Amino acid sequence: MTGLQQSTGISSKSHTGVNDFQLAPVHRFLGCMIGQFHFSPAAQPLAEALLAAEPPEIAASVLNECESEAMLLAAKQILDATLNLAEWDDGVLEAIIPAPVLRGGRVDREALWRWLEEHRKAAAAALDGVADLGTAATHDLLRGRAALSLLGDCWLDTVSQPATQPGVIVNILFGQRWLLLGEGCLTRSCVAMRRRALEAAGIFLPPISDPGFFRAAAADAMTSLQAAFLLSLSRYPATYLPELVGIHAASHALGIDDRVAGLVPIVTREAAWEALDTYLDALNDDPAGETLSRRLVDAMRVFVCQERRQLAMLVERAGQSTDRPLDQQVAEIIRRHAPFAGKQHRRVRIGGKPLSERLVETDQDLASFLQDFKRSGYLLADAKGSCRFLDAIKFRGPMFGIFSEQEASVLKSWFQSVAQTRDEPVVLEPQGQDEPVARLWLDNIRKRRPRDTVFESATGLDDRTLFYRLVNIENFANTLSVALERARAGLSRAEALFNAEAAGQHTDARFFEYSPDALEARIESIYWKKLVDPYAPLGEIPSRDEVVFGQKYYALGNMVDGAWAYRSSGTRCVERIADTALFAIYADEMGLGDLEKNHITLIYRVLESLGIDLPHIREETFIDQDEIPDEFYTFPLNQLSIGLFPNRLYPEILGYNLGVEMFGLGELRLHEIQKLKHWGFDPIYEAVHLSIDNLSAGHARQALTMIQDHLAETERRYDADTCAVEWRRVWNGYASFAYFVEGGTLESSPSVTTDDDAGADHCALTL
């Protein structure tokens, strides 16, 4: 590899190596072996119904239903069918994409690099050929890639999670995700820049979370299925980490979307290769190295095959862009916009039916619609040489801005031809040359029963088993309903604090009417009166054993630090004003991709200094660990549960986040640092939080500001009453954190804790 690294400028040593970090034990995570996946029996018919839809709707469901057990089962079927492409695609994989060499059970990196270079150059030549054809061809190519381009690196959505942190490869990938998302500035993200490139070319698409996005953005079934596959991978990043690492490297090696958009890549192919190189280093001495290597290479072959096939289809279509009949070009325009024809068009009738009732899902439907549209009064020429339809799409017309400049030009040319073709039958070509392959792919997804699945309800789980399942939620989707019930129970009980006679010792969850100033005043009051002013150095330090026990008390909550927010930065979760700020806090907690600064690394450092040796929380052996007592599981279970529902419990997560970040300040933290230093233990975890959670400009201030921004956006989009309802939910999230801090548990009856009876030590929580 020396020659390869010198020739490409790649060094596998520029990041902390898997075995180089000496300050804390490194938990090597190279991906789960495919084990059993547990679903409830009710999920099966729901998943079948989801997959019975057409490809654009399947992709939309996998994107938007991220909290659905049925979606996770459908995603598993999509992954199984796609990654086993060679079993059903009649040898095309072997014919088009020869396998990179596995030598001695490990990847031949030089052969793999040459293989990727070969396909990168072929893709670049194809794209340059389209550019030479002119603006219309380039426009078609941009539109054809839009659905995939605007997904960005969706497979990295939850690569950082309780089951995978801290790990070297996970932190490298997460650091690249941080860059791709604009380092906390959404307008600098790769997806935002690609969308601007599309709009500069006159291609305007709905938000990616819109149910009709894939109908509008994907011109063919193959593209929608490819999007569904990549989104499905994003639902199982821990289980399919080898596949994810390979696909990430292959995607950036090909570099199709940035090249099409004319952008400089945020993550270069060399940087993506570095992540791959580091991963392959770790496989060298791993007992499962050969199996994981083969999975990685097989996934790369499938992905590159998909990309080359989709690109070939788009290049062929772009080459025909100026030669296609006008009826065909107009049909494609209508197909893109038809999903958005709603009740506002109820007065528009074509062929005797309201426009909103004219389905154009098949070529036959579309041909019939075009025939009726040609004969309608909307295309009758007037004295000015125009018509009602063209007038409607001009400036000041009711449809102005719906069609791009290029689309409007096609529609005008079509109108000018209508007088001669009004009575001729409309004959449309099939949507794409790969439609038969898409149907074969879809049939295999629908018919293939997912491997290694168990259908059973999640009942009778003790706290240790539930904790293990929530950490490994990819394998235990049937536990989602248990998690939601637990989160809702915690929120319901916490409302008891809304009407408390007095504040707690460290919190004040009493309800108040919202205004930005009122929230600011409450938070400053908590900061000074509850966290800072009460502080005085301890006059007497507890015994060594008491200090160790106290750290055990907090350890489990600290080991799932950030779990409430790790799902809040998914591909669809970048449209609300607070999304990026919440992700920025989580990214900070994970060290922005720097393993040494990762907060999970820091807590393992502390535990090591205390002489506490624990297996990783994802390991089944953790269930039987004897360092942390059963009663300390309540708080981390609540934290894991609420974090699994970033859409359903979004306002509650914002409030919960405020509680967590505020609690990192003041008296309790300073006392812990004093005790740890006295006995020679590592205080790094407490010291870091005391600094970065500051109310001046740190996480506490950011948590406060994002709530104010979210509520301002809510009132602006809806009204004051909706904002008031949203505020109550936000404060309920804060109260749910306060409830645990002040001694509440889900097992006890609701009670209100006052200043007088709140003790210094309560249930285990994140500091």
DSSP 480-521: HHHHHHHHHHHHHHHGGGGG-SS--SS---------HHHHHH
Note whether 100 and 231 are same-domain residues.
Answer: yes
In degrees, rounded to 5, the angle at the alpha carbon of residue 546 between the alpha carbons of residues 542 and 552 is 135
Asked whether the bond before 325 is cis by omega within 30 degrees of 0, the reply is: no
Note whether 689 and 650 are same-domain residues.
Answer: yes
pLDDT tens digits along 204-231: 999 999 989 998 887 789 999 999 999 9
Cα distance between the two ends of the chain: 44
pTM attached to this predicted model: 0.86
Note whether 614 and 645 are same-domain residues.
Answer: yes
| Least-confidence region, from 17-26, 615-624, 668-677, 700-709 | 17-26
Please give the tally of structural domains in the chain. 3
Note whether 337 and 314 are same-domain residues.
Answer: no
Note whether 357 and 233 are same-domain residues.
Answer: no
Please name the residues in contact with 659: beta carbons below 8 A apart, sequence gap of 6 or more: 507, 733, 734, 736, 737, 738, 741
pLDDT-derived band at 520, boundaries 50, 70, 90: very high
> Is 231 within 8 Å of 63 (Cβ atoms)?
yes
What CATH number is attached to the domain comprising 604? 1.20.910
Report the alpha-carbon distance of residue 240 to residue 689 in Å, rounded: 32
Within its chain, how far is the Cα of 532 from the centroid? 37
Residue 453 lies in a domain: no
Residue 314 lies in a domain: yes
| Least-confidence region, from 10-24, 53-67, 514-528 | 10-24
pLDDT-derived band at 319, boundaries 50, 70, 90: confident
Please name the residues in contact with 76: beta carbons below 8 A apart, sequence gap of 6 or more: 37, 232, 236, 450, 453
Half-sphere exposure of 410 (CA within 13 A, CB side): 22
> Is pLDDT at 99 greater than 70 in this prediction?
no
Tokens 């006052």 — which residue? Answer: 754
Pairing mode of beta strands 37-39, 453-455: parallel
pLDDT tens digits along 4-57: 333 233 333 333 333 333 454 556 788 876 689 999 999 999 999 999 999 999
Residue 747 lies in a domain: no
> Is pLDDT at 235 greater than 80 in this prediction?
yes
Which domain range does residue 364 map to?
A: 326-421
> Is 336 within 8 Å of 216 (Cβ atoms)?
yes
Note whether 516 and 625 are same-domain residues.
Answer: yes
Residue 142 lies in a domain: yes
Residue finishing a domain among 421, 450, 471:
421
Residue 494 lies in a domain: no
Note whether 606 and 705 are same-domain residues.
Answer: yes
> Is pLDDT at 378 greater than 70 in this prediction?
yes
Note whether 548 and 400 are same-domain residues.
Answer: no
Note whether 154 and 253 are same-domain residues.
Answer: yes
**DSSP element (H, E) containing 336:** helix 326-337
> Is 139 within 8 Å of 203 (Cβ atoms)?
yes
Residue 210 lies in a domain: yes
Residue finishing a domain among 322, 344, 376:
322
Note whether 373 and 303 are same-domain residues.
Answer: no
Q: What percentage of the chain carries pLDDT values higher than 90?
A: 65
Q: Average pLDDT of 402-425?
A: 87
What 3-state class would DSSP assign to 104?
A: coil
Residue 746 confidence (pLDDT): 39
Residue 44 lies in a domain: yes
Residue 492 lies in a domain: no
Report the alpha-carbon distance of residue 73 to residue 706 in Å, rounded: 34
Note whether 253 and 356 are same-domain residues.
Answer: no
Note whether 543 and 417 are same-domain residues.
Answer: no
